[in-house]
Structure 1
Amino acid sequence: MSALHAAPTDTFGIQQPVAATQGPKYVREDSAATDSDGSIEQIREEVEYEEGDAQDKEDVDESVKEDMRKLEDTFPGISDRFRLLNRIGEGTFSTVYKAEDLLYDHYENDWDTFQDNHTDSWTDQPSKRRRVEGDNGRSIPVKRRKPRFVALKKIYVTSSPHRIQNELELLHDLRGCRSVCPLITAFRYQDQVVAVLPFFPHTDFRIQYRTFLVADMRHYFRSLFTALHSVHKHNILHRDIKPTRANRAGTRGFRAPEVLFKCTSQTTKIDMWSAGVILLTLLGRRFPFFNSADDVDAMIEMASIFGTRRMKAAAAMHGQIFETNIPTIGEKGYSWEKLVKWASCVEELTESEKQATRLLAGLMELDPYKRLSAKEALQHEFFTDPIDHDVEWGGDPDDSADTGEEDEDKDDGEADENGSLGPGDIFSSKYNY
């Protein structure tokens, strides 16, 4: 994320390095810093943890285990507070691990949206690690604590101190904002910085995107736009909205046209374009939808959809010139509805899909000034007056969804006079120049 304004330098103080013999100091939002000392062992011994259960369910590669051991060895005290279970993400600036919070019950956890589901937090089953005998010699069940998971984000030392501080300050400022992942705490040892965030169970988007119904999309994007509305109100640009983590900020295929045209006055609307690409991916059942290797290819892909006329106008808006001699790229481009039908290989869209496509048109608008904001998107009919007409992908819409009238020729974004082309023709044309 990046801010449109300079972040204050005194909002979130990062701990100063401490000697290795003393151990790192940890900062919680609700408590003072505490040293890594014997008191932690005393706290841990108060309860019996379901240690095996948490680890046995994780299928962890040996290289990942070695990576986690390295973090534990080089960051004194981290294993006293967290049990690393798996590596769940890797990017340009950080690696994210799933971990069990061993001291969860000793802090206020107002960040935990799943607290209501933790009422049965203790079990009376016999412990896997030890059994306690009573006076009569019989085994007494030992209460065990159900694991609480968090995400540990290890920020690489190659990141500048200012960038790390800026990220933590922004996350701190966004605490309490709806649908925004809160910063639980952060701590540092020498040049290593680890941020602690909530862990959310999830299915890999690359597996799940084919199964999304429109109702699922509505729930997904209501949360996303709610979060972006809060983020944008703080004058913050996320700059890397995408459905799954990748190794590059501003990931290819999700960059807005003003980013490709090197516009120097980018706004929060670049995030809304990226959200539109996610919606296009879900409606078109294609991931990734765009496959450009560089910015030039990305502009050719856009031109295949929007046509040369609109691309030239968009370029001129940012002081640039767009030209192409690729014969398969027409002047007018295509309507979003036709494109979604081609991509998803259906003859007709349901009424709910058509409604979602109308939202898509507002998100993937070349002119950032006409593109929907997060607040405007939440006021779209897709959310305020939803059409309940959903079918699983591969099914046929009911006859009631088809008006029987072919009115696509009236669309501004209709295909050029060369006739209809399939999606393969659109997206393979970029290789012909």
Structure 2
Amino acid sequence: MDSSVVCTDTFATDAGVKSGHKKNISRDVESDIESLYKAVPQIAKTFRIIDKIGEGTFSSVYLGEARLRDGSREMFALKHLIPTSHPTRIAAELQCLTVAGGRENVMGVEYCFRKEDHVVIVMPYMEHQAIVDIIGSLSFEEVRLYIYHLLKALKHIHQFGIIHRDIKPNNFLYNRKAKTFALVDFGLAQGTADTQIELLKDLVGFRKAPRSVFSEKNLNSCISTCTTKQETKTQLVKPTKTVALSSRRLPTARGGPTTVRNQKVQRGVHQPLTCNCFQTDRVCNVCLSRKQQVAPRAGTPGFRAPEVLTKCPNQGTAIDVWSAGVIFLSLLSGRYPFFKASDDMVALVQIMTIRGSRETVQAAKAFGKTVVCSRELPRLDLKVLCETLRGRRADEVKPIDKPKLECEASDEQAQKQACEASPQLSKSQDKTPKDSSRQNCQVRDEQGWDTVPDEAYDLLDHLLDINPTSRLTAAQALQHPLFKHL
């Protein structure tokens, strides 16, 4: 830790000072702070914990104040990892912060406390604004800078072979006034095949089998090697496995033994194991006998890439780029969160409605999956979609393969229609003069949303490429014409 920080017992003994900043916090937070002091007593010698500023599945973040040698005081963020976290996981997160942090918009680490199974990571505190609170007032230039700096951080960590796996606005802090950014929370990070973070290599042995997706009792109930022309719900199909069937008996649904029929087995030749329950309301014995696919699924719903949703075993840094694309889509459309699904299947369908079912099926084949859809969903024009959601267009969103709508924002009547279509402005129109719509449009125009260049939607299209092999890397995205002036 910085030698300028004074380690003193003042904070530990002066109860009045410790509680002086807790007048406006809840009793639960106050209790959590006291519990942290007891769990890691050495914290009190250096820091006075003021408030609890964040809480997640694997950690809680507190705001702490330290007194420096020159008499000044500095704020720090103290991340308390839950005791159930695996030691290797904790050490790997620390190594990511130590090796890659402190530069290129990536949060660094100042110090670390440990007492038995309690670990507290001390990081610089950066005052920031939540995207959900400011998304309606952001200008296009602010959005452009935000995505630029996010991609810059991703390029930096990807050079070390770090896959963040949880890219979302809450993990990319933004100080609007100072125009500073910081990528945080490497608690779910994994390493690439050539990662420079040694501890990330050790995490492979500690990965747990993922939970079943799509909220079904058995994913294999929708598995088949055959195709059909009948209409069905959207399903994922795993590739067939090749196994020996000689004298193999499988349990029936009623518990009695049965023999797989219609399978010609020759000695030394493995025949493909197929099923006949595809698109039916039952699960056959063949499907019940198959092992569950194991693939990483870590991440936040709504930001998971298609290859994560389909449980592709080969996942790389492209999943972080997809998440950045989802953030960009939210900022351009003014809707956050943009995707919100109850399970992975619904999330995949939501992606299809934007990117198209045909494109999704083709991309799935590229990474060894088969997606079956009951009807074709056309790919939407991202520019028309974002402008419509922002109220810049009064027209409905049309598929990209149909004639594009002409921009009608050039005349006064079209500007008025655009404002009337905006849900953010509709509530205030009844209480304002008749020319208020023109004034509101003028305010929105000053934010630059009437002159968003086509390059922005072109970059968005490449970031949201369904196929991870053709998706832009963070380094390639930074060379995009949208950032030529940066």
Normalising by the smaller structure, the TM-score range is 0.5 to 0.7
Task: Show the counterpart of 2:392.
Answer: 346
CA contact (8 A) 2:12 2:44 kept: no
Whichever residue aligns with residue 383 of structure 1, its letter is F
Distance 1:306 1:63 in 2: 44
2:145 to 201, 219, 223: 219
Question: Does structure 1 retain, via aligned residues, the 8 Å contact 2:167–2:323?
Answer: yes
Matched, 1:55 2:101: no
The residue aligned with 1:237 is 163
Change (3 A) 1:54 1:345: farther
Structure 1 residues 66-99: Cα deviation after superposition (integer angstroms, max 9, x where no partner): 1111111222121121111111111121111111
Match for residue 364 of structure 1 among 450, 464, 467: 464
Q: Does 1:94 align with 2:59?
A: yes
Question: What amino acid maps onto 1:196 in structure 2?
Answer: V
Alignment of 1:300 onto 2:349: yes
Alignment partners' CA distance in 1, 2:453 and 2:45? 50
Distance 1:206 1:217 in 2: 13
Please tell me the residue identity of whatever aligns with 1:202. Answer: H
Aligned residue in 2 for 1:162 = 88
Q: Which runs of 5+ in 1 are unaligned?
A: 1-27, 107-144, 387-433
Does the 8 A contact of 2:356 with 2:380 survive in 1? yes
CA-atom RMSD in angstroms: 3.0
Report if the CA contact (8 A) 1:183-1:197 is conserved.
yes
Taking the aligned partners of 1:169 and 1:185, their CA distance within structure 2 comes to 12
The one-letter code sitting in structure 1 at the alignment partner of 2:461 is A
Distance between the aligned counterparts of 2:332 and 2:147, measured in 1?
13
Q: CA 1:320–1:44 in structure 2 vs 1: closer, same or farther (change >3 Å)?
A: closer
TM-score if structure 1 supplies the norm length? 0.65
Instruction: Give the distance between the partners of 1:62 and 1:257, measured in 2 at CA.
Output: 42
Q: Distance in 2 between matches of 1:101 and 1:354?
A: 48
**TM-score normalized by structure 2?**
0.59
**Does structure 2 retain, via aligned residues, the 8 Å contact 1:151–1:198?**
yes
Partner in structure 1 of residue 359 of structure 2 = 310
Q: Distance in 2 between matches of 1:83 and 1:224?
A: 32
In the alignment of these two chains, the number of paired residues is 308
Q: Is the 8 A contact 1:214 1:353 kept in 2?
A: no
SS in 2 for 1:352: coil
Question: Match of 1:301, as an amino acid?
Answer: Q
1:337 lines up with 2:383 in the alignment:
yes
1:277 Cα deviation from its structure 2 partner: 0.6
C-alpha distance in 1, partners of 2:19/2:128?
Answer: 19
Aligned to 1:275, which of 324, 339, 357? Answer: 324
Which portions of structure 1, spanning 4 or more consecutive aligned residues, are displaced by more than 4 angstroms?
42-45, 50-54, 245-249
User: Which residue of the partner structure matches residue 389 of structure 1?
Assistant: none
| Residue identity opposite 2:127 in structure 1 | P
Alpha-carbon distance in 1 for matches of 2:450, 2:137? 16
Mapping for residues 85-234 of structure 1, pairs under 5 Å: 85-102=50-67, 104-105=68-69, 145-234=71-160
Query: What CA distance in whole angstroms lies between the structure 1 residues aligned with 2:12 and 2:350?
Result: 56
Q: Deviations over 1:194-214 (max 9, x none)?
A: 000111111222111111111
CA distance in 2, matches of 1:212, 1:261: 34
Q: 1:324 to 1:175 in 2, by over 3 A?
A: closer
1:81 and 2:130 correspond: no
- In 1, Cα distance between equivalents of 2:38 and 2:371: 54
Is the 1:85–1:97 Cα contact (8 Å) retained in structure 2? yes
Shift of the 43–200 alpha-carbon distance from structure 1 to 2, 3 Å rule, reads closer
The 3 A distance-change label for structure 1 pair 185 and 336 is same
TM-superposed CA distance for 1:262, in Å, is 1.2
Counterpart residue identity of residue 364, structure 1: L
Pairwise CA distance, 1:336: 1.0
What letter matches 1:359 in structure 2? Answer: L
The Cα offsets for residues 113-141 of structure 1, whole Å up to 9 and x where unpaired, read as xxxxxxxxxxxxxxxxxxxxxxxxxxxxx
Q: How far did residue 342 of structure 1 move?
A: 2.6
* Alignment check: 8 A CA contact 1:214 1:356 kept: no
Instruction: Give the C-alpha shift of residue 59 in structure 1.
Output: 3.6
Distance 1:354 1:53, change over 3 A: farther
SS in 1 for 2:60: strand
The separation in 2 between residues aligned to 1:91 and 1:42, in whole angstroms, is 30
Counterpart selection for 1:257 from 306, 313, 333? 306
* 1:369-399 per-position Cα deviation (integer Å, ceiling 9, x unaligned): 221211111111111147xxxxxxxxxxxxx
- Once residues 96 and 208 of structure 1 are traced to their aligned partners in structure 2, the CA distance between those partners, rounded to angstroms, is 22
Using the alignment, how far apart are the partners of 1:62 and 1:42 within structure 2? 23
Equivalents in 2 of 1:273, 1:148: separation in Å? 36
| Cα deviations by residue, 1:197-252 (Å, 9 ceiling, x for unpaired) | 11111122211111111111122122211211110000000000000269995101
Label 1:322 to 1:80 Cα distance change in 2 as closer, same or farther (>3 A): same
Contact persistence 1:283–1:353 (CA under 8 A): no
Q: Distance in 2 between matches of 1:41 and 1:260?
A: 50
Structure 2 counterpart of 1:123: none
Q: Which amino acid aligns with 2:310?
A: F
In the TM superposition, what is the alpha-carbon distance from 1:353 to its structure 2 partner?
5.0
The 2-side partners of 1:42 and 1:339 are apart by 57
Q: Which amino acid aligns with 1:69?
A: E
* Cα displacement string for residues 245-277 of structure 1 (whole angstroms, at most 9, x for unaligned residues): 699951011001111121111111110110111
In structure 1, distance between residues paired with 2:454 and 2:72: 45
In 2 relative to 1, CA 175–202 (structure 1 residues): closer, same or farther, beyond 3 Å?
Answer: closer
Q: Deviations over 1:35-80 (max 9, x none)?
A: x9xx7248999xx9x9699827x84222111111111122212112
Q: Which amino acid aligns with 1:295?
A: D
Q: Using the alignment, how far apart are the partners of 2:156 and 2:69 within structure 1?
A: 30
Aligned to 1:383: 483
